[in-house]
Structure 1
Amino acid sequence: MVVTAHPLASVVGADILRRGGNAIDAAVAVQFALAVVYPDAGNIGGGGFLVLRQHDGTLNTLDYREKAPSAAHRDMYLNGQGEVIENLSYKGHLAVGVPGTVDGMVQAHATYGRLPWAQLVQPAVLLADRGFPLTKKEAKKLNEQRKDFIRYNSQSPDFILKDRWRPGDTLHLKDLARTLERIRDQGRAGFYEGQTADLIVAEMKRGTGIITKEDLAAYRAVWRKPVTGQVGDYRVISMPPPSSGGIALIQLLTIAQDYPLQDWGWNTVKSAHLMIEAERRVYADRAKHFGDADFYEVPVKGLLDTTYIKSRMQGYSPKKATSSKEVSAGVPPLPEGPNTTHYAIVDPEGNAVSVTTTLNSSFGSKVFVGGAGFLLNNEMDDFSIKPGYPNSYGLVGEEANAIAPSKRMLSSMTPTILEKDGKLFMVIGAMGGSTIITTVYQIIQNVTRYGFTMQGAVSAGRFHHQWKPNWVLSEWGALGFGTGAGLWLKGHKIVPKYGGIGRAAGILVLPNGQLEGGADPRGDDAAAGF
């Protein structure tokens, strides 16, 4: 089974599995297909994280997160008075980190792939060259971004060749097709060297960006040891720093184990209040302690220490909300002796892959590489551009996530795999910036504590708290009038979130061994299996 953010990408992945490919083969093909049909987050100009569980239980994770260019420095988005220059880290060429997606896919395939590389990239080439029909949601998003595409690009990309896109219109991406052909035929060198690299550097020069040929040549994805935690009957396997998602998710699930959420009921005042208070404390830890472990000593073992995690709920009152002003990061014990889309894949042998990939915000920096036809990320905004200053998602950070040359920026991406009794149980992850962690958290709780189906758990209403700002985001109807009123009486400020919180993709292994996909109705997401 393959679950992705776009029906055509799901079909591509399932077809690779039918042809004898494994989960990694399908992941590579899906990544490139999403770069064509889901350009707001699917990418070759961004980065991501991959969590792998092989059928024999062997684990690995791949960090292909973007990196700061070599010319980056901690005050690069501040003016002479030390104040943040609005939008400089968010839109335009200076917002771009060195892309990691292509190298990540090359390394994943070289280590675990089965089918020939060219066979995995070819479906994306055909989609870009022959064209594909726009969905209603994708047409709407392209129209909404038209002004920014014009403002931040000196060479008009294919996306703005029409004044207004309509559902069913066919979008041809000829420049992108040629770029994908170079990647198909030359592998890593087809992106980080030669013509594509020349086009990226030329685009940087046109827009005062700072990525160089040397930055591109030096980029390498990194295999890392996953973070794991035992929570009740389930072993949680997720991404380590520079993603904050894995540790934060395990912290949230561990806190919840001490409370009878299933007895309290789904999204009741009692259960929602407890979850919000846990999120408040975990996100305070995130702001202080998380960053690129290659540059900053993240206290991973201390943050995952069960005693420490449970101690964070000291001061929790079931009767009233805690002010975020009264909550600060904890001091984890020292160890003994870091816009997005997600896809989930389980192959016929039982190998499972959970991948979250991103350009950061929708359509990234809004900058296309002239002549190459693909969008560049705006991941530099995920650094702490000034201590205590919120980024585009309202997240604050400190020294651990300060800008430095070649450093990877902190992420909330949470690609996750769950085992039960030593066997594969769930593959899950989400898009949604700072809401990714709480989205995955609630979906896991929906299945393991409340008995939801996979599709039901993904579809169910969601809410979110991230310490600062001091309010609860809630999808319309997620909490209901009674729960909302009850939380308000406890002192929570609830802000409605129109358009949904997160978009998830999940696969659940049923007791009889069959697979159930969960494709998010908030988008065009689709499951394809056989």
Structure 2
Amino acid sequence: MNTREIFLNQKIPDINREEQRAIGDFGMTASATKQSSEIGAQVLKNGGNAVDAIVAMQFALAVSEPFNTGLGASGFLLVYNQYSGKTKVINGHSKAPDQLTSDMCRNEKGEPIPFSERTINANFIGIPGILKAMETAFNTYGTMPLDRLIEPSVQLAEEGMEVNWLWDMALKMYGDRVGTTAKSFFFPDNVPLVKGEIVKNKELAHTLRIIQEKGIDAFYHGEIGDAIIQLINNENGCMSKEDLQGYESKIQEPILGSYKDFHIVTPSPPNGAGVSLLQLLKILEKVKIEQYPVNSWEKHYLLAEAMRIVFTDKLTYMGDPDFTHIPVEGLLHPEYIAERVKLINFEGLNQGVDFGNPWKYDKKGVQSEDSLHRELQGGETTHFTAVDSWGNIAVCTSSLEHYFGSGIMVPGYGFLLNNDLTDFYPTEESVNDLQANKYPVSSKCPTIIFKDEKPFMTLGSPGGPTIVASVAQVILHVIDYKMDLKEAIEQPRIYNSTAPTILCDGSLNEEVKSKLSSIGFEIIGTDIAIGNVQAVLMDQEKNIMYGAADSSRPGVAIGIFKENNEGY
């Protein structure tokens, strides 16, 4: 059975869904692992703020979800400071090394290296940025000692944790991608770890001890960095010490948009998901999607066609803004949105959907050459959030790009390296082409929504190209269909890219699937939910927070009450 068949036939085990919803008035955490949520909640109980908690949670996820994130990952962190009322983006996205060239995408015959081979090729390891982002966030907003934030994860790595069903599934689906060092950890005695076993990562604990003692700088300038570069060089990769040492995590302005009376804040390019989310929501607002029942074929038809419109634009225009102008203003201009809406009708699949021309609505640059489209490959990542008693919010999506990243684990240090540079288009015919010192386009979409200038909800999801679809649908389910947060997350979701194929949750109404098939869509069902949304909703009038974790992973949400300072 191949990976796709395993994916489509995998059954999610029963989990305690009560752990996946929470309420509190003193703080809230939500993530894809119980260990991470608990560690973050304890930081909040001990007087730490949201950024303290999110830093601790990232280290905890490096132990408890090491195949989706870790020290070698990348990510975007969104921080809302309630004192200033400002939201900032901390960019920890992977960057291409200085010696990377487009020739590295081709074999000795000059032919493109197949995508599957690029995913385990050391030349497609991006300079890891997540720890730099955490360092920048901590230095800007943090209040607790860093070594104290790391200590729970050290103990977790040393004492061990029980392998959950997600580990078991990941190894069955993608375990063949791991290299020799990683195999010795995930396949002890050549046998894969299985649900219920206790797994310890003493090498990762050693690495975390170094960071406790010497700071995150040790990862980029010290012995950890030296081990990374030596390994990549041994694997014939091109990253150098100078690449690692020169990496900077920038504090950036987010992109702002709206949906009805709500204001939406999300990362700007080189994150491509933020613009796409805002564009998708504006199209759906224009067609008044809320007039159709939540389980109707009309609602799902509008979603599918709107996604096709938005993602053709994304694949055409999104790149690194340091290398090309991106027509953000044009893509979100009301007149351009109105033009794109005209492509939608209820007669059937519109064969004429293609990228539009936002340049005539964009005043900040001139048109660049058109780029070729490509179908994004599936990826995995993780999303987590923390809200503190003061009202500060920290929300992060971090990733190794695919399950197990590059499959390359740093010997003696216990963490995997990403394969983020597979997000580049491997030729020069795209604004997202592979170049040295360039960010590939990211699909990460950590999001904060405001109502009347106060935080209303924060959410995000893993899922590579499906992330925007997951985030948008949960927003619609909460705002338009007035669903409870957990109910909104569990509502069946769909994803459609530039092609007529729709990926849908297995629980989607059969009548909806039949109707969409009859008008030209190809329906592919799966029992695994699209994405894994973690979210917190804030009731400002009652001063109550509601948290929810998605049942597609064994995550939890933990709320804290001021009265007894205990988790709910």
Q: Same fold (TM over 0.5)?
A: yes
Q: State the superposition RMSD in angstroms.
A: 1.7
Residue 418 of structure 2 aligns with an amino acid whose one-letter code is N
State the alpha-carbon separation in 2 of the partners of residues 448 and 521 from structure 1. Answer: 21
Residue 144 of structure 1, CA deviation: 4.5
Q: Give yes or no for the alignment of 1:277 onto 2:305.
A: yes
Q: Give yes or no for the alignment of 1:526 onto 2:553.
A: no
Equivalence map 1:22-61=2 (5 Å): 22-56=49-83, 57-61=85-89
Contact kept in structure 2, 1:427 and 1:508, CA below 8 Å = yes
Counterpart residue number, 1:197: 225
State the alpha-carbon separation in 2 of the partners of residues 82 and 327 from structure 1. Answer: 30
Moved more, 276-285 or 132-141: 132-141
Counterpart residue number, 1:353: 394
Residue 27 of structure 1, CA deviation: 0.6
State the alpha-carbon separation in 1 of the partners of residues 183 and 344 from structure 2. Answer: 54
Q: Give yes or no for the alignment of 1:484 onto 2:537.
A: no
SS of corresponding position for 1:529: strand
SS of corresponding position for 1:42: coil
State the alpha-carbon separation in 1 of the partners of residues 363 and 267 from structure 2. Answer: 19
Instruction: Provide the identity percentage.
Output: 31
Alignment length, in residue pairs? 514
Counterpart residue number, 1:301: 329
Counterpart residue number, 2:211: 183
State the alpha-carbon separation in 2 of the partners of residues 516 and 484 from structure 1. Answer: 32
Q: Deviations over 1:6-48 (max 9, x none)?
A: 0000000000011111111101000011001111212110110
Q: Deviations over 1:168-215 (max 9, x none)?
A: 211111111111111122123210122111211121122112211111
Residue 248 of structure 1 aligns with an amino acid whose one-letter code is S
Determine which of 523, 544, 553 is the counterpart of 1:494: 523
Determine which of 251, 274, 299 is the counterpart of 1:246: 274
Counterpart residue number, 1:90: 119
Equivalence map 1:352-391=2 (5 Å): 352-386=393-427
Q: Deviations over 1:387-425 (max 9, x none)?
A: 6xxxxxxxxxx5211111111110111100000111110
Counterpart residue number, 1:9: 36
State the alpha-carbon separation in 1 of the partners of residues 218 and 406 from structure 2. Answer: 22
Counterpart residue number, 2:452: 421
State the alpha-carbon separation in 2 of the partners of residues 302 and 184 from structure 1. Answer: 46
Residue 34 of structure 2 aligns with an amino acid whose one-letter code is P
Q: Deviations over 1:442-466 (max 9, x none)?
A: 0000000001111111111110011
Change in Cα spacing, 1:258 to 1:329, as seen in structure 2 (3 Å) is closer
Residue 520 of structure 1 aligns with an amino acid whose one-letter code is D
State the alpha-carbon separation in 1 of the partners of residues 467 and 103 from structure 2. Answer: 28
Equivalence map 1:183-262=2 (5 Å): 183-262=211-290
Residue 147 of structure 1, CA deviation: 3.3
Q: Deviations over 1:256-276 (max 9, x none)?
A: 112332221113111111111
Residue 120 of structure 1, CA deviation: 1.1
State the alpha-carbon separation in 2 of the partners of residues 76 and 402 from structure 1. Answer: 12
Q: Give yes or no for the alignment of 1:442 onto 2:442.
A: no
Residue 286 of structure 2 aligns with an amino acid whose one-letter code is D
State the alpha-carbon separation in 2 of the partners of residues 164 and 75 from structure 1. Answer: 36
Contact kept in structure 2, 1:288 and 1:329, CA below 8 Å = no
The normalised TM-score by structure 2 is 0.87
SS of corresponding position for 1:401: coil
Residue 112 of structure 1, CA deviation: 0.6
Counterpart residue number, 1:431: 462
Structure scoring higher RCO (CA < 8 A, sep ≥ 6) equals 2
Residue 287 of structure 2 aligns with an amino acid whose one-letter code is Y
Residue 456 of structure 1 aligns with an amino acid whose one-letter code is E
Residue 298 of structure 1, CA deviation: 1.3
Q: Deviations over 1:291-312 (max 9, x none)?
A: 1112221122222222212221
Residue 526 of structure 1 aligns with an amino acid whose one-letter code is V
State the alpha-carbon separation in 2 of the partners of residues 146 and 494 from structure 1. Answer: 28
Counterpart residue number, 1:453: 484
Contact kept in structure 1, 2:277 and 2:472, CA below 8 Å = yes
Structure 1 unaligned runs (5+)?
A: 388-397
State the alpha-carbon separation in 2 of the partners of residues 277 and 139 from structure 1. Answer: 36
State the alpha-carbon separation in 2 of the partners of residues 326 and 439 from structure 1. Answer: 22
Contact kept in structure 2, 1:135 and 1:168, CA below 8 Å = yes
SS of corresponding position for 2:113: coil
SS of corresponding position for 1:228: strand
Residue 205 of structure 1 aligns with an amino acid whose one-letter code is N
Determine which of 360, 382, 386 is the counterpart of 1:341: 382
Contact kept in structure 1, 2:80 and 2:393, CA below 8 Å = yes
Residue 137 of structure 1, CA deviation: 2.4
Counterpart residue number, 1:391: none
Contact kept in structure 1, 2:304 and 2:496, CA below 8 Å = yes
Contact kept in structure 1, 2:327 and 2:358, CA below 8 Å = no
Counterpart residue number, 2:443: 412
Residue 393 of structure 2 aligns with an amino acid whose one-letter code is A
Contact kept in structure 2, 1:201 and 1:213, CA below 8 Å = yes
Counterpart residue number, 1:153: 180
Moved more, 172-181 or 152-161: 152-161
The normalised TM-score by structure 1 is 0.94
Change in Cα spacing, 1:126 to 1:227, as seen in structure 2 (3 Å) is same
